[in-house]
Amino acid sequence: MPPAHDPLADHPLLEAMLPVAVLTALEEISHLTTTERQRLAAEAATTIGSHGDDLMFGGKHTAAAFAALARALAVLAHQPGGVTFAGLHWCVGSRHHGTREQAPCAAELAREASQPTS
């Protein structure tokens, strides 16, 4: 079976910029409540759904779609196990920021399991 195609292989600029943008977004949303993160995720989903093609192929909404993608990945990095997008992985507990670690992140799941439940 041939190896899976790396979706970022055709977009080297996106691969280079996305880890930095998500890291920046992680800092920006670190103070938000869960409810605020959920609202932000819904807004990002709407923008990505409406303008994701601009992100991949260019268009007047490229910057907005890129920012929404970075914010969405930052929000998802707060979930148990983190998030992997196009082969890049983020999770807040293990401080994986755009690594090639695959989800679910074993280190992040172990951290979540050790947290006391409220």
pLDDT digits (tens, 9 = 90+) for 29-53: 989 999 999 999 999 999 999 998 8
- Bridge partner residues of 83 (DSSP): 90
Within a 10 A sphere around the Cβ of 16, how many other Cβ atoms?
A: 11
Q: Whole-angstrom Cα distance, residue 47 to residue 41? A: 10
At what angle are helices 62-76 and 34-57 packed, to 10 degrees?
Answer: 140
pLDDT along the chain (118 residues), means of 10: 60 82 92 93 95 88 94 90 82 68 63 67
pLDDT at 67: 95
Q: Whole-angstrom Cα distance, residue 105 to residue 90? A: 9
pTM of the model: 0.76
Q: Whole-angstrom Cα distance, residue 41 to residue 71? A: 7
